[in-house]
Amino acid sequence: MYKIISGGQIVGYSETIVYIKLHGNGCYVPCAKSEAEGFCIKPAVEIDTETRLVDTVYALTDSGLSGAEPTGEVEEISGTLQIAFIENVFNTIVGSLPVNISAEKALLLRSKIEEAIQALDLPFSDASEIPELYPTLRQTGALVPYRTIIRWTDGGLYMAAQDLWDLESNDPAHHPGGWVKIKYRDGIRVVPETISGAEAFSFGELGWWGDTLYKSIRAGEKTNIHTPAQWPEGWELQG
Amino acid sequence: MIGKTNAIAVSGGGVELKIVVSVTSGALVTATKGPLSVQGTSVNGTATLTVPEAGTWSVSATLNEETTNTVIINVTESFPAELLFIDPILNNNSWETIRKVSDLGIASNYWSVGDRKAVVLNGSVGSSAEFNKVTAYAYIIGFDHNENKEGGNRIHFQLGFSSLSGGSNVCYVDSYYNSYTSIYTLFNINNSNTNVGGWNASRMRTDVFGQDKESLTNTLMGAIPADLRTALKSVTKYTNNVGKDKTEAAVTATTDYFFLLSEHELFGSIANANTYEGSYQEQYAYYSAGNTKVKRKHTATSETAIYWLRSAAVSGDTMFVICNTSGNVSYNGARTSLGIAPGFCV
């Protein structure tokens, strides 16, 4: 099994790999790894609600192949170990013994986990440890309530700064004013220059102000919207 | 130089004819031909006998009062040799030369997957497609593809491209594209929406393509040049030849001169066909290298086209698998006229 990395992220896995170069007439030709300009792999892709294995081409360098392909690198991994790892993660999450699970059941399980995390209203410091389990936008048109935390395509967590409809026009890329990106360092939030209502700190919550660590001492949950510079009385310097 | 010899040349002209025998060291080897007899002793497991003339010699050996079996060896003074000029540019070679190179199993030493060669199509194919000296460029999709099941020493081609370099990957359409009528022989799989009998029983296989070199009337076989027709090799293709059948027993062989690619041969995976087809087929090298599966109409290369694959869609008894205009797998009722991208072997 092969792990494919592009743009610094894992973009998929493939059972097969074919090393390729560009033919003079413009098509791709299989070749030895030593003379390859790129490779073709078969990651699982969702097409029309079904998962298919799709031939996908990556160039090994920016100048490889036609120049139009994304660049990628490949790492050979043990398929057996990968499956065992995934099963371990799954069993840990659901707290069960190994079971057979269908794709439909896994999706249902995933949606329940997402719902549960939203219902828990975890503090940001906890959220930073499990960003993968937060939901993402799916352009369903559904309501995204104020302060809902989502996972976005840049890998970051965003909080809705207002009630929003789940539409492309409202996502963080198209409507940045509707979202607040949650910034962390070592699991502790960075205090923004301007703290919006959605970002308000709770009593006892730590925050980085520059390289200095403070603790909010304003009473109540999500009440402190002033930085240590704006209102020093609301913060306690940490040693 | 192509050919084999069991003789070696010696100085002074002529040839010295030798029989080389593998036998236990110390054995006395005897070769006889009528009244003629030659003997020699095996050294280091080999006995080399120089015989005075060509012909059929009987060879046996003795050792410690035991005698071996007798082997009949035909010693010849002459042997065929053929010299071929092989152009590394595929298109510069005749189909006759390509066939000879294919016969020798050395085609991949000279040419590459993706190489193209012009084929002039001329004549009617079916009743609604007229090719008036249309130049198609056949391209290599694999060498000795799946040879254990389909046969070795074969170059697999597909039709076609619109030009020798660059251009569009096209499929061939008739005047009823994306519609149907039961009156004519269209580029459909069958004249009704049925997949019963699969590829083997389809009209496409016999009436449109023509599966013997004498079926020339309104067939693809008749529309290709005579030199290509002569060079064609049949190939064994495994397909679900039952229809709505998901069992392995449904996958059987046909012997074809022209074929449509199957779902697995194009995509390397199966979503709609009998999944056992994947056990008998391989994805073609051209497509596993990531080349586009999108094809365009040969009559209008600005337009993408849906084209047929030979796999029956097993979800029902009316559909065959297709590649849609996005290059993804889907299926369609068998009676609709769609694009065809025939494969063939030389």
Beta-carbon separation of B114 and A28 below 8 A: yes
pLDDT tens string B30-74: 999 999 999 999 999 999 999 999 899 999 999 988 888 889 999
CB B337 within 8 A of CB B186: yes
The pLDDT assigned to A125 comes to 65
Which one of A28, A29, A42 has the shortest CB-CB distance to B268?
A42
Taking the CA of residue B334 and the nearest CA in chain A, the distance in Å comes to: 22
Q: What is the pLDDT of residue B84?
A: 83
Percent of all residues in chain B with a pLDDT value above 70, rounded to a whole number: 95
- The minimal CB distance from B114 to the residues A25, A56, A57 is found for A25
Closest residue to A55, CB basis, from B139, B164, B268 = B268
- Closest partner residue to A18 (CB to CB) among B116, B289, B328 is B289
pLDDT at B282: 98
Q: Is the peptide bond before B160 cis (omega within 30 degrees of 0)?
A: yes
Cβ distance A16 to B290 less than 8 Å, yes or no, reads no
Contact between B289 and A30 using a beta-carbon 8 Å cutoff = yes
- Residue pair B47/B37 in contact by the 8 Å Cβ criterion: no
How far apart CA A124 and CA A128 sit, in angstroms, is 6
**Structure confidence at residue B4 as a pLDDT band (50, 70, 90):** very low
Residue B8 has pLDDT above 50, yes or no: no
Distance CA A121, CA A149 (A): 9
Instruction: Report the distance separating Cα B187 and Cα B202, nearest Å.
Output: 11
Interatomic CA distance for residues B51 and B209, integer angstroms: 55
Q: Which tens digit of pLDDT belongs to each residue from B147-183?
A: 999 999 999 999 999 999 999 999 999 999 999 988 8
pLDDT confidence of residue B12: 40
SS3 B309: strand
In this predicted structure, the answer to whether residue B214 has a pLDDT above a threshold of 90 is yes
More confident residue, B3 or B158: B158
CB contact under 8 A, A57 and B165: no
- Which DSSP state fits A173? T
Element (H, E) at A91: helix A79-94
Q: What is the pLDDT of residue B298?
A: 97
- Of the candidates B149, B306, B154, B167, the one whose C-alpha atom is nearest the C-alpha of residue B239 is B149
Residues of B in contact with A55 (CB under 8 A): 267-268, 287-288, 290, 293
Nearest-Cα distance to chain B for A68, in Å, is: 13
Q: Could A29 and B112 be called an inter-chain contact, meaning their C-beta atoms sit closer than 8 Å?
A: yes
Whole-number Å distance between alpha carbons of B129 and B132: 10
> Is the pLDDT assigned to residue B277 strictly greater than 50?
yes
Are B114 and A55 an interchain contact pair (Cβ–Cβ within 8 Å)? Answer: no
Q: Which of B114, B164, B271 sits opposite A50 (nearest CB)?
A: B271
pLDDT of residue B181: 86
What number is the average pLDDT over the span B15-26?
Answer: 88
- CA nearest to A26 within chain B: B166
Q: Which residues of B touch A20 (CB under 8 A)?
A: 289-290
Residue B276 pLDDT > 50: yes
Tell me what pLDDT residue A183 has: 85
Residues in B lying within 8 Å of A, measured between beta carbons? 112-116, 139, 161, 164-166, 267-269, 271, 285-291, 293, 328-329
Residue pointed to by tokens 């029902």: B316
Contacts of A53 in chain B (CB under 8 A): 267-269
**What pLDDT, in 10s, does the model give residues B289-317?**
999 999 999 999 999 999 999 999 999 99
**pLDDT > 90 in chain B, percent:** 85
Judge whether B276 and B250 are in contact, CB under 8 Å.
Answer: yes
- Rounded to the nearest integer, the mean pLDDT of chain B is 92
Q: So what's the pLDDT on residue A100? A: 67
What the block records as the tokens of B251 is: 């996958």
CB B121 within 8 A of CB B160: no
Q: Between chains, do B329 and A52 touch, taking CB under 8 Å as contact? A: yes
Mean pLDDT of the region B187-191: 96
pLDDT band at B6 (very low <50, low <70, confident <90, very high): very low
Nearest in space to B235 (alpha carbons), one of B276, B273, B199: B199
**Closest residue on chain A to B112 (Cα):** A29
The single residue listed with the structure tokens 């095996």 is B42
Give the model's pLDDT for residue B15.
Answer: 67
pTM for the predicted model, two decimal places: 0.69
* A26 chain-B contacts, CB cut-off 8 A: 165-166
Type and span of the H or E element at B134: strand B130-143
Distance from CA of B165 to the nearest CA of A (A): 4
Give the residue ranges of chain A where pLDDT is below 50: none
pLDDT at B9: 34
* pLDDT per residue as tens digits for the range B94-142: 999 999 999 999 999 999 999 999 999 999 999 999 999 999 999 999 9
Query: Which residues, in sequence order, are CB contacts of B328 under 8 Å at separation 6+?
Result: A47, A48, A52, B293
Among A23, A47, A56, beta carbon nearest to B290 = A56
Average pLDDT over residues B203-214: 95
CA distance A170 to chain B (A): 29
Amino acid at B37: S
CA distance B167 to chain A (A): 9
> Does the beta-carbon distance from A53 to B112 stay under 8 Å?
no
